[in-house]
Amino acid sequence: MPHILVIDDYRDNRDVAELILRDAGYTVSSAGDGLRGIAVAVQRQPDLILMDLALPVLNGWEATRRLKAHPATQHIPVLAFTAHVGQDALARAYAAGCIASVAKPFEIEILLSQLAAILAQHQRPDRARARGEENRSFQLL
């Protein structure tokens, strides 16, 4: 099952997200600040990261920039998971490397469908091979 990393400074938000994601069949890790989130991402190599933007130690915008600049994590899609839904905050999130956003509070069905869509688009080749889902595209010779 895909592995999702939840980076959020509010324990209640992390707990709720983890419960929902585990119930949906995902493997879940979490971190309470941006710097710890980067360390967990490098170590555990999740398939997707839910990134709060207003984080202590290192905010979500900068944490996303660093993840996208790091060779070990640049391939991991980052989804802004935030109450900061103003145009400027979201523009900064996209500029940092987030590919989409989910506003908090969120609706479970919307979150899960967005995660499924993103994971389908960003399926990692190494994990697809492990499940026997080789890329079936062909080349003209």
12: domain CATH number?
3.40.50.2300
Q: In this structure, is residue 141 part of a structural domain? A: no
Q: How many domains does the chain have?
A: 1
Higher pLDDT, 138 or 24: 24
**Banded model confidence at residue 127, pLDDT cuts 50, 70, 90:** low
Is 87 contained in some domain? yes
Confidence of residue 86 (pLDDT cuts 50, 70, 90): confident
Q: Is residue 56 part of a domain?
A: yes
pLDDT number for residue 32? 97
- Picking from 23, 71, 77, 27, the residue whose alpha carbon sits closest to that of residue 48 is 77
Instruction: Name residue 80's beta-bridge partners.
Output: 51, 101
Does some domain include residue 35? yes
In a domain, 137, yes or no: no
Instruction: Return the structure tokens found at 40.
Output: 């967990």
HSE-CB for 121 with a 13 A CA cutoff: 12
Provide the pLDDT confidence category of residue 133 given band limits of 50, 70 and 90. Answer: very low
Whether the per-residue pLDDT at 64 is higher than 90: the answer is yes
- For residue 36, is it within any domain? yes
Full domain range(s) for residue 60: 3-130
List helix spans (H) across 1-139.
Answer: 11-23, 34-44, 60-69, 87-96, 108-121, 125-130
